Structure 1
């Protein structure tokens, strides 16, 4: 049975009840929320809310929780949410004996005319079943019983505050709620006062007979209550599983299920005959909309905002409860980001970000823990599966159907590993499209192809060539596409050829956020050390904007940022963020430094998103939320200045080896011109790395268009950098003025292209021929000969299908080392092949050729002498990595050893911004 804490009522110290010291409505805190907070956070609440006892007296963490609950505790309702076998019978007994007093103001309560509920699906804010009782103050959050004329209980719902309008509630229920159909179907909803609802809660879970009571109630007849089973659909749910954010959607035709929800159609939440995107709640079902957290792009900012729904979910999963290994409970997306923030990013609760990076290591184990200190060890695949199931189940709740068929987009170079990962983590529960699955680059390009067909803008029979630059949260990829459209007698015939051209697994939107964070940290450290803001970006990047690109060409990008990097290192002495180096210090010191990092990171993410949303905002500053409320300022200040209120501002400064907390925000204004100059060199450097060879050998001229996709490509500096290589008319930026809180068009381009492709194939509108060229590898693989010379086995910027190399050793060698280097000849990693003679088997060359073809040519094996083993590099078009295949000769007999795979990246991105060393 679930236990709930109802804090005692108490008057505050100083201000009137229900108000804080500034006269504003006081925030209320639940026990579950407070239990996840650190001692420092609890003291900060006492400071902000002017709870004197928690400020002037030294208190333990447990005592601080009790004090905050006493003066700012939120009333918690006792909801029936876990099924009890005899619960319905106990409720029916209570209704038959104690349901005595009908309340007279039922006419002032308005409920929906028709309610449709589904076994196995939750009922929540998304469904929009409102109960309006603005003139009946005794209606409150409570349990609601569905009964028929014989007072048989048919189901239990919850009445939850809407949060946007006083006296308005939503009908909610968990997905495991049990509904009973009865012969009598004249249904009514029974609403109760708080004390009566709590009596029914206790009656439902109690094994003993409850004492007599006089239950007061409102009986609200329901015109039509429809209890349905969920239908399975043949529609395909497409999912774009991203490093930072995930999107999903499906084309829902008029017959995707036999009986679509008329309620959702009337409310505009279900649109037939078009693409429907899955929307995710920024707040949890029980949260009040318009709360204290804005999660923009998964940043988890503590900024006052209006809550709602958005067609994007941060790729994040948190562990809520791992006490029972057989029933681990998780949090997802925005809720996981809130969990991370409540922990000050340093609590015991495990939260994982960027799970897409795990594609080549899903079998690795991760130790997880929850807020109560319980620990467990899970495979990464279990975490990915839980997250993907949440996305699928959210789609099923929104569209009121069961999905069996799934389509996942994936990076072009890693399509096969991603398809294998999705099939493994989802087992046999779903049918995953593999034959006609699109990679991310092709999905983006098909979105353009579909536009050309719909708008009749294509040249029939002509080959159209394009490059796609996808700058996501953690990686950037360059792929090429050639396509030709011919109008056949019964369909369009489309020939598509695609290839991965280049990429950087360590550059993406997070790199840009980190650069902004560096600047913010320097400015803030300067303010706290000197008492005023003196930092000028021109001091950190002294190169004029017009000369910046030429400077990168001549001296490299490192030279541009060296002064900024130096000042960032100096700022560490004042405002530390490298929390990894504090693991040997006290727990309080470690938490403070870790909180500094994540607080600044979130400010940087919000600043980046705000400036490049393409609005009229040119200047922005941060301000404590209480200060903004006191001054009466709105979000937008003078002309182009936007003030961003921050709830609970706190940074810890290192003053002579001791930490002190600062709750005052620096009076610093950041401008869009500063942000553009700050990021311009980084962006130009990645564009130059991708396009310089294309430009110098003339290949760039053959491409009619360069298309930018991914959220980070909204930054105008991408267009400016591309203009150095191609004319502006060849760049398809595809940007519109994005509204705050809306998903940028560039983020949805990949998902929309995949859905349009699948739909066109299903409807027989297109017939496609797809050819994927072997990807180009931006790495070099080498090994050392016995003489100490370095031998290149895989050359950078060659196609995988063309690679061939080998290195020889004596047969008794126990291990051989191979080295992976980046394009600039920096060592990335070392591989070791453990050689064991026991795994060698005799083989004829014809048998070797049947397995590996020309990659192990006969002229090479003929040169192998007795006692020698030659380690061949074997590559494949569908594997982002290489195999080592040893071939030896003993007593004139060829021996074939064990083939082993070495991936180019264990994690999709080797650069971790959250490792505590930034």
Structure 2
């Protein structure tokens, strides 16, 4: 869709009659460009004269227009003006081009028309993008389409905000205009012209069937896999419910049940690609009073890339982590500097509604039931938030599968389809899910029986371990560190820093990690990364109290380098299995290397005391060997953390399947690391060596499993019994006694030791509680405020009624006068713990206010987008 830039000064919009296209500006001389800047009163904030490229960029920023002017917003006055023009103008119908437009148009109320609707336009002659008007026999405008080019093909699309109507006259036609006439239509509609011509030339093509329908309601649930980095969504289309979808399914196969996944356009790539991955990204486009205009997914990323460094585009990544504290507010700002605060849950709600609306557009139905997969350790907490923010939908809970169980169920259905199981035999499986931000380990035991009327499947799942600080983003950050260091050294000394850094990894990496841990080998890389912060700064959090110009330049540095690193990772491991990559500021393809282009305007280095744009940005080359060497130790370290204790207990061979899931697990180093503990034959990672281009199997496993489970339950094909054990806690909660002795209150990885007590004197106190991981490292310090005014007199029977099994009489009977005993226990279903104080004073019991604390929060979890990297 089209976009344009506007100049804002003192928060008041300044308009100009000047409108310029980039391709036209690039044909002009430097003198002509300076004349335009003078005419339009465009002034740069730099002292040195701008070169030609900088002048083009300045003009495009404030007076630029898109190459194609599409009508994609409703304007009632504009529509009336255009209708009046079309009625009165002298119409000249052309017939010198052979163009094939769709003869049947089916629109749905409130829904857009996208390329996925496959309204293809073909022509033997040259055609151009532009506006196409649907009229009836009396030239009444019924709606306005856009003709857009996608991968060398032309499609009719329509924004949902552009209204459509039917008329009593059924003699419909499509009016196609050449580029100038299409732009005239645009200018009349948006009140950009005072000159109204007397003649209008167009091509007219009959439409045999045109109608508008309402999307139908369906009980078919929409499944969503809400991920840290990417989200997927889809439905299960079967023979029983196929009638709901038959008219819009172009590639239907009525003899097969199938999963249909929501696909989107990755507009950040050239050429644009179709993908089932929806980035879990929220951007703020504008703030008007309490009305916030969002952009999501690739649109948000593209807006960030197209913006200028001081525009201050507000983009949020890692929004899934917010669920640990979703009531917290975030400060947001738009390009005009408007600021406000909004609760995290409202942004999560907006993103999920965007995903649901995408599904509604693709499948032309109103969904009433939603299934959203969640981590096994936080299933209840996720459900409660989804139920609150998506109150208009029925959120599946009874049939709600956690992410590990969804992946397992997909594997079970594949065993059944391939008849590769032994009936009645119990199988044990380990599932390692490496997502964008976290990695989790789940264990499962299952049995399959083929009964007379259905399959009987018994499944028992358990969360075994996890690391909230390791995921695909960690690997991206390692690559970013290397890129930033090489960039900085190329700008200064051009020495071979890459070779010197990678020399550190020229050891037996697995044995080195066994001996020294996972961080030691990265010390030199971390040191060099911090040293070059003085050349290419990326820690934008440290610039919050400096000028906005500096802040946004440093922020631009970080996101450019992180995006480059992510693209390097994808090219090497996910998409093309490239061997060597050239990172270049020049938009030129290399014959012998995969190339990744970057925008040199988005990177800034220190020139003296000032941050300046690079005039001569560097090129760097990275090989698959470089990157594999760099990330191998990190990958082995996380696998070692999960599997070593099971291996030492001789329990690993009990598992017939070790399932790797998540996009990062395509990296061969994961399989290599696991082979240190088990034979390779039990490892499943769904990597197709013959696949060319994108492969989304690992990311879609969770979605497929959830959909197959919902469908099997709905149709009665399977009798499924899933038992979920309470998750093991990978944390320790402790406190110190008055004598300085540490007392463990909740013990990690011990399912029976999940509560404890500690006592203090009755005066007002703050109880300090400490969270440690399984390695004994302190991760967070909690403070429970104990106030005397919060205590209420009680008796044990009242305490027992409220906290049965959690606070027992023996523990209250031995409380002495003026003693406060704090009862602490894990609340696993909410992935946190509770603190309740009980006081004895004058031989009477008093109970204080219950406190709840999350095990995990984004204060101590690693967040690569917090501005401290």
State the TM-score, normalized to the length of structure 1: 0.85
2:130 is aligned to 141
Query: Are 1:611 and 2:562 an aligned pair?
Result: no
How far apart are the structure 1 equivalents of 2:675 and 2:358? 42
Q: Deviations over 1:695-726 (max 9, x none)?
A: 12222232222111111111111111111111
Q: CA 1:20/1:606 → structure 2, altered by over 3 Å: closer, same or farther?
A: farther
Please state how far the C-alpha of 1:677 moved relative to its aligned partner. 1.6
How far apart are the structure 1 equivalents of 2:496 and 2:195? 66
* Residues 111 and 132 in structure 1, CA contact (< 8 A), matched pair in contact too: yes
Describe how 1:527-546 pairs up with structure 2 within 5 A. Answer: 527-536=490-499, 540-544=503-507
* Residues 575 and 652 in structure 1, CA contact (< 8 A), matched pair in contact too: yes
How far apart are the structure 2 equivalents of 1:42 and 1:762? 69
Describe how 1:159-238 pairs up with structure 2 within 5 A. Answer: 159-165=146-152, 169-192=154-177, 213-238=198-223
Query: Are 1:881 and 2:865 an aligned pair?
Result: no
Higher mean C-alpha displacement, 647-656 vs 780-789: 647-656
Describe how 1:147-162 pairs up with structure 2 within 5 A. Answer: 147-153=135-141, 155-162=142-149
* Residues 574 and 694 in structure 2, CA contact (< 8 A), matched pair in contact too: no
Q: Secondary structure at the match of 1:459?
A: coil
Equivalent of residue 247 in structure 1, options 232, 246, 250 = 232
Q: CA 1:345/1:704 → structure 2, altered by over 3 Å: closer, same or farther?
A: farther
Describe how 1:373-412 pairs up with structure 2 within 5 A. Answer: 373-412=337-376
Q: Secondary structure at the match of 1:473?
A: coil
2:11 is aligned to none
Please state how far the C-alpha of 1:184 moved relative to its aligned partner. 2.8
Query: Are 1:697 and 2:681 an aligned pair?
Result: no
Q: CA 1:269/1:96 → structure 2, altered by over 3 Å: closer, same or farther?
A: farther
Q: CA 1:726/1:370 → structure 2, altered by over 3 Å: closer, same or farther?
A: same
* Residues 102 and 216 in structure 1, CA contact (< 8 A), matched pair in contact too: yes
Equivalent of residue 66 in structure 1, options 42, 59, 72 = 59
How far apart are the structure 1 equivalents of 2:838 and 2:355? 47
* Residues 671 and 683 in structure 2, CA contact (< 8 A), matched pair in contact too: yes
Please state how far the C-alpha of 1:258 moved relative to its aligned partner. 4.6
How far apart are the structure 2 equivalents of 1:404 and 1:124? 23
1:625 is aligned to 586
How far apart are the structure 2 equivalents of 1:11 and 1:645? 19
Q: Deviations over 1:189-213 (max 9, x none)?
A: 2344566656666766779999783
Query: Are 1:108 and 2:98 an aligned pair?
Result: yes
Q: Secondary structure at the match of 1:854?
A: coil
1:567 is aligned to 528
How far apart are the structure 2 equivalents of 1:220 and 1:614? 42
Q: Secondary structure at the match of 1:612?
A: helix
How far apart are the structure 1 equivalents of 2:104 and 2:24? 47
* Residues 316 and 337 in structure 1, CA contact (< 8 A), matched pair in contact too: yes
Query: Are 1:421 and 2:385 an aligned pair?
Result: yes
2:632 is aligned to 680
2:794 is aligned to 843
1:550 is aligned to 511
Query: Are 1:503 and 2:487 an aligned pair?
Result: no
Query: Are 1:599 and 2:586 an aligned pair?
Result: no
1:356 is aligned to 320
How far apart are the structure 2 equivalents of 1:202 and 1:604? 42
* Residues 317 and 865 in structure 2, CA contact (< 8 A), matched pair in contact too: no
How far apart are the structure 2 equivalents of 1:738 and 1:432? 39
Please state how far the C-alpha of 1:738 moved relative to its aligned partner. 8.1
Query: Are 1:79 and 2:71 an aligned pair?
Result: yes
How far apart are the structure 1 equivalents of 2:252 and 2:451? 37
Query: Are 1:520 and 2:483 an aligned pair?
Result: yes
* Residues 105 and 136 in structure 1, CA contact (< 8 A), matched pair in contact too: no
1:343 is aligned to 307
1:299 is aligned to none
* Residues 360 and 367 in structure 2, CA contact (< 8 A), matched pair in contact too: yes
* Residues 219 and 369 in structure 2, CA contact (< 8 A), matched pair in contact too: yes
Equivalent of residue 97 in structure 1, options 88, 103, 126 = 88
1:300 is aligned to none
Q: Secondary structure at the match of 2:519?
A: helix
* Residues 157 and 171 in structure 1, CA contact (< 8 A), matched pair in contact too: no
1:444 is aligned to 407
How far apart are the structure 1 equivalents of 2:307 and 2:279? 18
Equivalent of residue 792 in structure 1, options 741, 744, 748 = 744
Query: Are 1:899 and 2:816 an aligned pair?
Result: no
Q: Deviations over 1:208-232 (max 9, x none)?
A: 9997833434332111112211111
Describe how 1:268-279 pairs up with structure 2 within 5 A. Answer: 273-279=257-263
2:540 is aligned to 579
State the TM-score, normalized to the length of structure 2: 0.90
Q: Secondary structure at the match of 2:829?
A: coil
Q: CA 1:826/1:524 → structure 2, altered by over 3 Å: closer, same or farther?
A: same
Q: Secondary structure at the match of 1:690?
A: helix
How far apart are the structure 2 equivalents of 1:534 and 1:815? 51
Q: Secondary structure at the match of 1:235?
A: coil
Please state how far the C-alpha of 1:15 moved relative to its aligned partner. 7.3
Q: How many positions carry a matched residue from both structures?
A: 850
**Structure 2: gaps (5+ residues):** 6-15, 32-36
Q: CA 1:170/1:67 → structure 2, altered by over 3 Å: closer, same or farther?
A: closer
Q: CA 1:663/1:277 → structure 2, altered by over 3 Å: closer, same or farther?
A: farther
* Residues 852 and 874 in structure 1, CA contact (< 8 A), matched pair in contact too: no
**Structure 1: gaps (5+ residues):** 22-30, 56-63, 284-292, 295-304, 629-633
Q: Deviations over 1:49-94 (max 9, x none)?
A: x458x39xxxxxxxx6337777x7545536262142x776665554
How far apart are the structure 2 equivalents of 1:710 and 1:473? 8
Q: Deviations over 1:876-904 (max 9, x none)?
A: 34120101112222333333322221110
Q: Deviations over 1:26-54 (max 9, x none)?
A: xxxxx9xx99x99799999x75xx458x3
How far apart are the structure 2 equivalents of 1:504 and 1:443? 20
Please state how far the C-alpha of 1:251 moved relative to its aligned partner. 0.4
Q: CA 1:513/1:344 → structure 2, altered by over 3 Å: closer, same or farther?
A: farther
How far apart are the structure 2 equivalents of 1:690 and 1:10? 56
Please state how far the C-alpha of 1:549 moved relative to its aligned partner. 1.4
1:853 is aligned to 804
Q: CA 1:351/1:39 → structure 2, altered by over 3 Å: closer, same or farther?
A: farther
Q: CA 1:511/1:89 → structure 2, altered by over 3 Å: closer, same or farther?
A: closer
Please state how far the C-alpha of 1:249 moved relative to its aligned partner. 0.7
Query: Are 1:370 and 2:334 an aligned pair?
Result: yes
* Residues 434 and 665 in structure 2, CA contact (< 8 A), matched pair in contact too: yes
How far apart are the structure 1 equivalents of 2:30 and 2:150? 20
* Residues 782 and 790 in structure 1, CA contact (< 8 A), matched pair in contact too: yes
* Residues 823 and 837 in structure 2, CA contact (< 8 A), matched pair in contact too: yes
2:296 is aligned to 332
Q: Secondary structure at the match of 1:360?
A: helix
How far apart are the structure 2 equivalents of 1:38 and 1:134? 47
How far apart are the structure 1 equivalents of 2:657 and 2:779? 33
Q: CA 1:140/1:714 → structure 2, altered by over 3 Å: closer, same or farther?
A: closer
How far apart are the structure 1 equivalents of 2:867 and 2:46? 21
1:829 is aligned to 780
Please state how far the C-alpha of 1:187 moved relative to its aligned partner. 1.7
Please state how far the C-alpha of 1:277 moved relative to its aligned partner. 0.5
Q: CA 1:511/1:862 → structure 2, altered by over 3 Å: closer, same or farther?
A: same
Please state how far the C-alpha of 1:573 moved relative to its aligned partner. 3.2
How far apart are the structure 2 equivalents of 1:591 and 1:39? 17
1:590 is aligned to 551
Q: CA 1:398/1:126 → structure 2, altered by over 3 Å: closer, same or farther?
A: same
* Residues 159 and 171 in structure 1, CA contact (< 8 A), matched pair in contact too: yes
How far apart are the structure 2 equivalents of 1:447 and 1:580? 42
Q: CA 1:525/1:602 → structure 2, altered by over 3 Å: closer, same or farther?
A: same
Q: Secondary structure at the match of 2:69?
A: coil
Question: CA RMSD of the aligned region, Å?
Answer: 3.5
Please state how far the C-alpha of 1:787 moved relative to its aligned partner. 2.1
Describe how 1:253-272 pairs up with structure 2 within 5 A. Answer: 253-254=238-239, 256=241, 258=243, 260=245, 262=247, 264-266=248-250
